[in-house]
Structure 1
Amino acid sequence: ADFRGAHGRLVYAGRVTDRLGLPLDTPELDVDLAGSRIRRTVHPSGLRVLTEHMPGARSATIGFWVGLGSRDEQGEQPEAPASLGSTHFLEHLLFKGTPGRSAHEIAIAFDRIGAEHNALTAKEYTCYYAKVRDADIDDAVAALGDMVTSSLIDAEEFENEREVILEELAMAADDPGDVAQELFFQRVFGAHPLGRPIGGTPETIRRARRDDVVGYYSERYRPNTLVVTAAGAVDHDAIVAGVLAALEGSGLDRWSTGGLASPAPRRSRLSGPRLEGLGDALLERPGGQVNLLLGGEGLPQGDERRFAFGLMNSVLGGGMSSRLFQEIREKRGLAYSTYAFGASYSDAGLFGMYAGCAPQKAGQVIELLRSELAALAADGITDEERDRVLGQIAGSSALALEDSETRMGRLARSELGTGELIGLDESVRRFHEVTQDEVREVAAMLAARPMTLVAVGEVGAAGLAGERVSSLDASGPAALPPESAAEPQAAGSAPPQGGPATP
């Protein structure tokens, strides 16, 4: 039933649905989505809080999400100081102390309750989260809220963390697979902000100034850019009260919940980068393998073809029964790891295929990557493949949603991204509605687009032809790989080898 609540605020309550729209001008939502109670509050300050109660759970995951990522940093301009890497730098610094807690006390606050806690920086958002038992939810909300609203960004801690981040970049730079992924993103997106490394580069981190990062924090971390999501053994009203207390407890005007503000608008889907003339990139690195990535432009978030893409991607490279795995590894023994993947953003997307192999096998592997995509583009998928990947997607999605962290992330990505939350049954239904012709058309579209080949390793021994790039520098890829995993794709890991997450 839909009705007007207190003060004329629109409330949707008691409704059972498999699809939930998330309009920014609706103050309260309370629905049953596929057997879970979803509640959402849009506070007059612009703060948004979403919770999903999971019956029988004895723990919960809470995330404080800011709708700002590496793509929102200003570019390097002669008239302005560089801020590339500020978002990731800030993510580190929020663990380093507030007026009420030192860095050590923040660590103790989580350790004494056995919390699994961390943070992640992505291209379009930043998240600080903790997974705790039900009895400790209030403590986790208080600690996370204190960090997000009241970080001191101490000058000494700033310099210490600069060195830590440089070590993090150096660690990733030692991994050829990570470097290949970063170079691939740069080649596909080019000069667009989505092509920039999430963590900046060693040069931009060395040049970073505390005043710039403090300014970024003060200007952009506000109630109307903040989304708090929680899933598991949660009480919505208690979490809303705890978050509001944390904001008011900061004592800072910008976190005041007494004023009126609209939530920050969702990103436009109309102005994505136009990708033309992608060039290959070969980076010589010592090692026993060449890391190969082949692909190009993919699909943005919310694209109606994303379900067809999910089926195609699973058939092509989404598991041990996929075409790439069977042809490259099982039949020929050319690689240990090979898969296909996609990354979607508000206005653009990326599609790629990966394999790591011995240099002398690289040419054959590249031809197989191309030919398997071409075969899908020409002939589509078989009835058996369609049935198999529909089961794979339904099963893997159901298993993922047993975890409160996955559900917490799904709430946030829906709120910040598409503005639509889809239940498991509805998602599976949409996959089942995809025709084999639609799968073939998506494969044909991807195959017809400009593609880039990135190779990192002993490319000379592989005999590959293409543009050679030099060692990593400020204008090239940095050492922090693209976001991944749980679609909180956190900086620091590769695209998952397996089926696509539930759109």
Structure 2
Amino acid sequence: MTVYELTAPLSGPAATSVPLLTVVDQRLKTTSLCLALAHGSRDDPEGRGGTAHLLEHLVMTCPLGDGGPELSFSEYVERRGGQANAQTGLETMLYYAQVHPDDADDVAAALLRAIFDPVLDRETLDRERAVVLQELAAAAADPSDVVQDAVLAQLFPGHPLGRPVGGEPEQLLAVTVEELTAVHRERFVKAPGALVVVGPRVPAALARIATPTAGQPVARAASVPPEPAGAGDPLPDPATAQFAWLCFGARSPQAGAPERAAFGVLTHLLGSSSSSLLYRSLRSEHGLSYSFHTWDRGYREAGAWRLLVGAEASAAPRISSLVAELLTTVAEQGPTADDFGAAVRQAEMTLILESESPLEYAKLIAERTCSAGHAWTVEDEIAELHRVTVDDVRRAAAHVRRELLLTVRSVAA
């Protein structure tokens, strides 16, 4: 991977520069681009939750303008047979496209224009706000979505990380074009970021303004110390609930902390793979759940380790006990050599499989670089995984067990 600085990618009031990271593989038949910015729902203005997500929609759907075609970036890419999308997280936004290499030059220029110099207008805002409100309504009707927002609110009460990414409908209805423009100008374009290209060559539009660089290409955004976590929820009452989503959560180390790799291994030890300790206990031995998933994310101040389980409400007490018992066993005895080796290999293969899809690889590099504050490589993260020991995982399990809280959302009987 080669690192450059885009010295002057744009002109006008939103002019900025971003680091460019390139992975050139002449065997590829597509070019993937991803621009990540360290801006997310945690950066929404007070009383305007969901602004970042709404801005994401407008960036992708407003006309490109500035002498370009009167198409949105999404339509511009897809009329060429490519694909384009975006996503907003708690503290990172991704904008990405995958196109034919012959189209990469024009698409790269259009991507920069769409993100850094969008034509925000009231008509598009009203249309996309209606779409976002439909998204929120769909999420609110799905307890498995609701519980994931709820556990973050428990882990980070009163903190920007505890805000729902999509925001609140009544706050979204109050957002104006002028407010969005101010957020874009004062926060969005000033956020640290990284642009990644994975393809057979670097688009000429980027190569002309790229200067080779080294060292730390991404600044770190400011952090806010979190207050103590909440207390969690009581178990569901089988008399009033038929099905429940249980989300177990605990804070984990912040992004960039060396001990984060051990928490990643722990997610695979207690993940949805048929080889995991949780699968063998929860599904194979006791038949208590068909649907469960474990994951861990690192943020600026702290991470969030989570386990989501869907089950009949009557099974919730037993599931809660089994999760606590498994964490205690790993914390006190450690995993067996075979289970530990399988979890490390699964964590490694997850990275390798993502890196073999050009678009997913571009997204992975952009997001991790933005979070880490330096050029991220899959080789470095695999090396970190191979440095994890059984004792490291024991300490991670002890930490999660000590801080574990349970958040529940039920489906009425």
- TM category (shorter chain) comes to 0.7 to 0.9
Equivalent residue, structure 2, for 1:498: none
Q: Aligned with 2:208: secondary structure?
A: helix
Cα distance between partner residues in 1 of 2:48 and 2:57? 15
Q: Give yes or no for contact 2:74–2:85 (8 Å, CA) kept in 1.
A: no
Query: What is the deviation of 1:53?
Result: 1.2
Q: Give yes or no for contact 2:36–2:367 (8 Å, CA) kept in 1.
A: no
User: In 2 relative to 1, CA 383–144 (structure 1 residues): closer, same or farther, beyond 3 Å?
Assistant: same
Q: Give yes or no for contact 2:252–2:263 (8 Å, CA) kept in 1.
A: no
- Match for 1:59 among 16, 30, 36? 30
Equivalent residue, structure 2, for 1:357: 311
Equivalent residue, structure 2, for 1:97: 63
The answer to whether 1:228 aligns with 2:195 is yes
Cα distance between partner residues in 1 of 2:103 and 2:115? 19
User: In 2 relative to 1, CA 382–87 (structure 1 residues): closer, same or farther, beyond 3 Å?
Assistant: same
Equivalent residue, structure 1, for 2:408: 455
Cα distance between partner residues in 2 of 1:439 and 1:322? 14
Query: What is the deviation of 1:104?
Result: 4.5
User: In 2 relative to 1, CA 162–427 (structure 1 residues): closer, same or farther, beyond 3 Å?
Assistant: closer
- Match for 1:313 among 267, 272, 293? 267
Q: Aligned with 1:207: secondary structure?
A: coil
Query: What is the deviation of 1:196?
Result: 0.3
Q: Give yes or no for contact 2:249–2:305 (8 Å, CA) kept in 1.
A: yes
Equivalent residue, structure 2, for 1:434: 388
User: In 2 relative to 1, CA 98–56 (structure 1 residues): closer, same or farther, beyond 3 Å?
Assistant: closer
Query: What is the deviation of 1:66?
Result: 2.5
Q: State the Cα deviation string for residues 202-248 of structure 1 (Å, max 9, x = none).
A: 1111122221112111223437745322112232664243799xxxx
Equivalent residue, structure 1, for 2:292: 338
Q: Give yes or no for contact 1:141–1:243 (8 Å, CA) kept in 2.
A: no
User: In 2 relative to 1, CA 240–117 (structure 1 residues): closer, same or farther, beyond 3 Å?
Assistant: same
Equivalent residue, structure 2, for 1:72: 43
In structure 1, what residue type is equivalent to 2:346?
Q
Equivalent residue, structure 1, for 2:76: 109
User: In 2 relative to 1, CA 274–112 (structure 1 residues): closer, same or farther, beyond 3 Å?
Assistant: same
User: In 2 relative to 1, CA 234–393 (structure 1 residues): closer, same or farther, beyond 3 Å?
Assistant: same
Q: Give yes or no for contact 1:98–1:152 (8 Å, CA) kept in 2.
A: yes
Cα distance between partner residues in 2 of 1:41 and 1:205? 36
Q: Aligned with 2:194: secondary structure?
A: strand
User: In 2 relative to 1, CA 151–317 (structure 1 residues): closer, same or farther, beyond 3 Å?
Assistant: same
Q: Report which stretch shifted further, 276-285 or 320-329.
A: 276-285
User: In 2 relative to 1, CA 103–290 (structure 1 residues): closer, same or farther, beyond 3 Å?
Assistant: farther
In structure 2, what residue type is equivalent to 1:132?
V
The answer to whether 1:87 aligns with 2:52 is yes
Q: Give yes or no for contact 1:46–1:225 (8 Å, CA) kept in 2.
A: no
Query: What is the deviation of 1:277?
Result: 4.3
The answer to whether 1:394 aligns with 2:359 is no
The answer to whether 1:348 aligns with 2:319 is no
Q: State the Cα deviation string for residues 276-308 of structure 1 (Å, max 9, x = none).
A: 443326789998520001122112111111122
Query: What is the deviation of 1:423?
Result: 4.1
Equivalent residue, structure 1, for 2:157: 190
Q: Give yes or no for contact 2:62–2:72 (8 Å, CA) kept in 1.
A: no
Cα distance between partner residues in 2 of 1:85 and 1:140? 28
- Match for 1:280 among 216, 220, 233? 233
Q: Aligned with 1:227: secondary structure?
A: strand
TM-score (norm 2): 0.88
Cα distance between partner residues in 2 of 1:336 and 1:366? 15
- Cα RMSD over matched residues? 2.7
Cα distance between partner residues in 1 of 2:141 and 2:230? 29
The answer to whether 1:206 aligns with 2:160 is no
User: In 2 relative to 1, CA 171–276 (structure 1 residues): closer, same or farther, beyond 3 Å?
Assistant: closer
Equivalent residue, structure 2, for 1:49: 20
Query: What is the deviation of 1:197?
Result: 0.8
Equivalent residue, structure 2, for 1:219: 186
Cα distance between partner residues in 1 of 2:321 and 2:191? 49
Q: Give yes or no for contact 1:166–1:202 (8 Å, CA) kept in 2.
A: yes
Query: What is the deviation of 1:424?
Result: 4.0
Q: Aligned with 2:45: secondary structure?
A: coil
Cα distance between partner residues in 2 of 1:284 and 1:202? 30
Query: What is the deviation of 1:364?
Result: 1.2
The answer to whether 1:304 aligns with 2:258 is yes
- Match for 1:367 among 321, 324, 328? 321
User: In 2 relative to 1, CA 294–402 (structure 1 residues): closer, same or farther, beyond 3 Å?
Assistant: same
Q: State the Cα deviation string for residues 75-124 of structure 1 (Å, max 9, x = none).
A: 2xxxxxx3221111111111122324576554442122211110111111
Q: State the Cα deviation string for residues 175-215 of structure 1 (Å, max 9, x = none).
A: 11001111111111111000001111111111222211121
Equivalent residue, structure 2, for 1:3: none
- Match for 2:371 among 417, 421, 446? 417
Aligned ranges 1:367-386 → 2 under 5 Å: 367-386=321-340
Equivalent residue, structure 1, for 2:12: none
Taking only the aligned residue pairs, the percentage that are identical comes to 27
Q: State the Cα deviation string for residues 301-324 of structure 1 (Å, max 9, x = none).
A: 111111222222211225221111
Q: Give yes or no for contact 2:4–2:21 (8 Å, CA) kept in 1.
A: yes
Q: Give yes or no for contact 1:52–1:407 (8 Å, CA) kept in 2.
A: no
Q: State the Cα deviation string for residues 30-85 of structure 1 (Å, max 9, x = none).
A: xxxxxxx423225275432221113411112112323211111222xxxxxx3221
Cα distance between partner residues in 2 of 1:330 and 1:103? 56
Equivalent residue, structure 1, for 2:99: 132
Query: What is the deviation of 1:333?
Result: 1.3
Q: Give yes or no for contact 1:116–1:132 (8 Å, CA) kept in 2.
A: yes
Q: Report which stretch shifted further, 437-446 or 40-49.
A: 40-49
Q: Aligned with 2:248: secondary structure?
A: strand
Q: Give yes or no for contact 1:141–1:242 (8 Å, CA) kept in 2.
A: no
The answer to whether 1:444 aligns with 2:398 is yes
Q: Aligned with 2:257: secondary structure?
A: coil
Equivalent residue, structure 2, for 1:250: none
Cα distance between partner residues in 2 of 1:88 and 1:268? 20
Cα distance between partner residues in 1 of 2:107 and 2:281? 48
Q: Aligned with 1:289: secondary structure?
A: strand
Aligned residues: 399
Q: Aligned with 2:270: secondary structure?
A: helix
User: In 2 relative to 1, CA 132–201 (structure 1 residues): closer, same or farther, beyond 3 Å?
Assistant: same
Q: Aligned with 1:130: secondary structure?
A: strand
